[in-house]
Amino acid sequence: MALSQQGAYAVICARIASLLHISLGSARQWLDQQATRQGVRGVAQRLEFAQAQLATLQERYGGHGERPPMARLLDETVANPSPLSEEE
């Protein structure tokens, strides 16, 4: 069973969200903004653009590569918890 182009786009957005440690909505918004900046129009072109973006992000953050910005922020938060007292 083949996915529709919209379904495939949603899957790519989900993979980007997972890779960057952001919400699905944020990933879709980021991808849509990138496509608009590049002048990408049409469903088929957006799908191709999304696939290219995913490949680039996988290369950069997949495997043993660099940590995504949000993951680094989470690492920093865990390493340096809030200095609030236990009573608050």
pLDDT, residue 75, reads: 66
What does the pLDDT read at residue 5?
Answer: 87
The pLDDT value given to residue 27? 92
**Each residue of 1-57: pLDDT tens digit?**
467 888 999 999 999 998 888 889 999 999 999 999 999 988 889 999 999 999 999
Q: Are 17 and 26 in contact (CB under 8 A)?
A: yes
8 A C-beta contact, residue 33 and residue 27: no
pLDDT at 18: 87
DSSP codes joined into one string, 15-82: HHHHHHT--HHHHHHHHHHHHHHTT--SHHHHHHHHHHHHHHHHHHHSTTSPPPHHHHHHHHHHHS--
